[in-house]
Amino acid sequence: MSLQKTIVNLLLKLPDPILVSMAGGKPVVRDGRTLDARFQFIAHSVTKRGPQPELTKEFARQGTEILTMLFGGPLEPGVSCQDRTLELEGRSIPARSYRPSNQNPLAPLLVFYHFGGGVVGSLETCHALCSILAKTIGCPVLSVDYRLAPEHPWPAGLNDAIDSYLWARDHAQEFGAPAGVAAVGGDSMGGNFSAIIAQEMQRRELPQPFLQLLIYPATTILETEGSMQTCADAYPLTADIMAWFMANYLPNSDLGPNLGEDLRVSPALAPSLAGLAPAIVITAGHDPLRDQGKAYAEALEAADVKVHFQCYDSLAHGFTAYTGGVPAADRTCRELAAVAARAYRAMGG
């Protein structure tokens, strides 16, 4: 794998015009947004290899881990990480903590949940990003390896996310952070969990998270228009793959035909977002979830929630796992971490 990674990285250093010529010959444009040349090359390399094996959870998980090994970035210098186990009610959940050498003792702990449609992904898929967040913000980060479907269908993973957030809030001092408070963040399904956690704390009449960091979040499974159509073929999250994720994440027909309207599945359907934690919402231009992320940011703002919104037009869904191979993805992760750092400082963290 190290040789393969070396070869891939050498190819990705080629000039943009050469990469585009090797990947279809002309830039990929969707909704007026031009895809980053390296993402175009990766997408072309992955999708043009002929018929693929039937999509199974094993194949999807293996593919995700291979892509992470090929394109993921390293641990940030000055950040230490430690694997640990969270003892939650009736179960144990793997996690990984990140502590920066520049940690601010006033900065709340950030609890982070990885992408993967509730079916794939691991602590490795967000490893580089979590270390970037820790170093840039100056806060400890706790990455949670929640249970995955179909072995553990909804709401198992969500319950792990909620309970691990509550655990982290109550044990924040173990990470050198202020007691009784934590921020929450995640990408894709992790962003879904993070948005739901903020709403769930409100429903339980518990304190809000310090901050919501929502990176290309999935906020509803009912959306079918806009970017869900124009980006339906966008690597790596196509309409077919999204449908496969949901068939595994929500497989039980006994849950009822209106499950998509459950606020613990589609947080965008909440009747009111007033009183929720300040939010940073980040989207990618070549992503079926682009429009729903923007709509959720607009709904938060309309409810007088403080929001920072940014769409990175040239990037694709899942860009946080490509910091080692796509410079634009690395820059974006550092930019969004800097936005979070400013939000922390503005709120006294």
Q: Catalytic residue numbers?
A: 188, 287, 317
Residue with the two structure tokens 């990176």: 215
C-alpha dist (Å) from residue 184 to 167, 193, 194, 214, 302: 12, 9, 6, 9, 21
CB atoms within 10 A of CB 145: 21
E strands present in the chain: 29-30, 33-34, 79-88, 91-100, 109-113, 141-144, 182-187, 212-215, 279-286, 307-316
Radius of gyration of the chain measured on its C-alpha atoms? 19
Q: Identify residue 2 by its one-letter amino acid code.
A: S
Q: Which contacts (CB < 8 Å, 24+ apart) does range 269-273 have?
A: 269/220, 269/222, 270/199, 272/303, 273/199, 273/299, 273/300, 273/302, 273/303, 273/305
Encoded tokens for 345: 């400082």
